[in-house]
Structure 1
Amino acid sequence: MTVTTRTRQDVVDFLYTEAKLLDEWKLKEWAALFTDDALYTVPPLGDPDASATTSLFFVHDDRKRLEERAERLLKKEAHVEYPHSTTIRNVHNILVQDLDSDVIKVKSNFTTHRTKREVVDTFIGRTVYELVPSDNEFSIKSKKVILGLDSLRPHGKISLIL
């Protein structure tokens, strides 16, 4: 029996790989990082602990809905993202908890720069993950993106996946 030792750097590398997949618009590969029972959420501005039963979320997707969203954004019919925005994602201030647990909790800050039609938008915030380790890889059980913005203006739509 082989024992796999996970390190903080393994988790950091996984988050960087996720950001790279999104920046390269490899959305199907990105969606494949999630477990079958995964949940991906972007709660309303200013209310990160909102309940999906009483508040309107920007995104509240299970794995199936996430795959559908990724596939739809890759089509030419998704006019808001065709041609695709150019993005640069930075992940920083990464805190890893419960590294030896069955579910690893990770918190990080992010900055996503998007350029589209000669306009540059910057999205900032925090991300809270639950990662499930398997061998030398991880799967995302949950991802919560907490936008650190006062409003979406002038950003408007958040058609890109944060």
Structure 2
Amino acid sequence: MNELAITAFDETALRALVVNEAALLDERRFDDWLALFAEDGRYWVPLLGRLQTDPHSHNSLAYEDKLLLQLRIERLKDPRAHSQHPRSHCQHVLQSPAVEAIAADTATLRTPFLYIEARGEQQLMLAGSYQHTLVRTAEGLRIRQKRVDLLEAGRALPAVQLFI
């Protein structure tokens, strides 16, 4: 890694952003979560998991920009949203985020996770790893891309209501 680039990012702050991002989702603080994304930010869940190299050459479970994420959040907050009766809750269990790469303007971290989503009497558990690409902006660190590589991503999944 480039020594100059390493000093440009505080690795503790990078890891803290990833942990905070999961906590915001667990607390259903979706607007605060969305504010962590850069204006060009993307949320990507590849259908093929780590085997998929880009979101355009193959279908994805999700590939959303900030506008689409905002629309999903508005649906989750709508009291008439049938899928939220009863309301969904989630819990993220993270391993320690590992810094994979640091460049002059971006940093990439990988974080293995367990995700549990509960709604009524039902629970769904997914495992995989996150890859966060973070960028420094005038507002501070922001997420340029959150990639969610699910374990056995190609298998049939029930509907996931919240954000993995």
TM-score by length of 2: 0.82
Distance 1:141 1:102 in 2: 11
In the TM superposition, what whole-angstrom CA distance separates every residue of 1:114-134 from its partner, at most 9, and x where no partner exists?
A: 222222221111111110124
Give the structure 2 partner of residue 157 of structure 1. 159
Question: Does structure 2 conserve the Cα–Cα contact (< 8 Å) formed by 1:86 and 1:114?
Answer: yes
Distance 2:132 2:21 in 1: 12
- Please say if 1:138 is aligned against 2:141: yes
The correspondence for 2:61, drawn from 58, 61, 65, is: 58
Question: Does structure 2 conserve the Cα–Cα contact (< 8 Å) formed by 1:123 and 1:149?
Answer: no
More off after superposition, 58-67 vs 129-138:
129-138
In the TM superposition, what whole-angstrom CA distance separates every residue of 1:75-118 from its partner, at most 9, and x where no partner exists?
A: 12322233322211112142113446310111111111122222
The correspondence for 1:97, drawn from 95, 100, 103, is: 100
List 4+ stretches of structure 1 deviating above 3 A: 45-48, 50-54, 97-100, 134-137
More off after superposition, 14-23 vs 45-54:
45-54
Measure how far apart 1:8 and its partner are: 2.0
Question: Does structure 1 conserve the Cα–Cα contact (< 8 Å) formed by 2:45 and 2:63?
Answer: yes
Give the structure 2 partner of residue 43 of structure 1. 46
Could you say what the CA RMSD is over the residues aligned between the two structures, in angstroms?
A: 2.4
- Please say if 1:15 is aligned against 2:18: yes
Opposite residue 84 of structure 1, the aligned amino acid is R
Distance 2:143 2:8 in 1: 18
TM-score by length of 1: 0.83
Task: Tell me which protein shows more helix as a share of its residues.
Answer: 2
Quote the sequence identity (%). 25
In the TM superposition, what whole-angstrom CA distance separates every residue of 1:12-34 from its partner, at most 9, and x where no partner exists?
A: 21111111110111111111111
Give ranges in structure 1 of 5+ residues lacking alignment: none
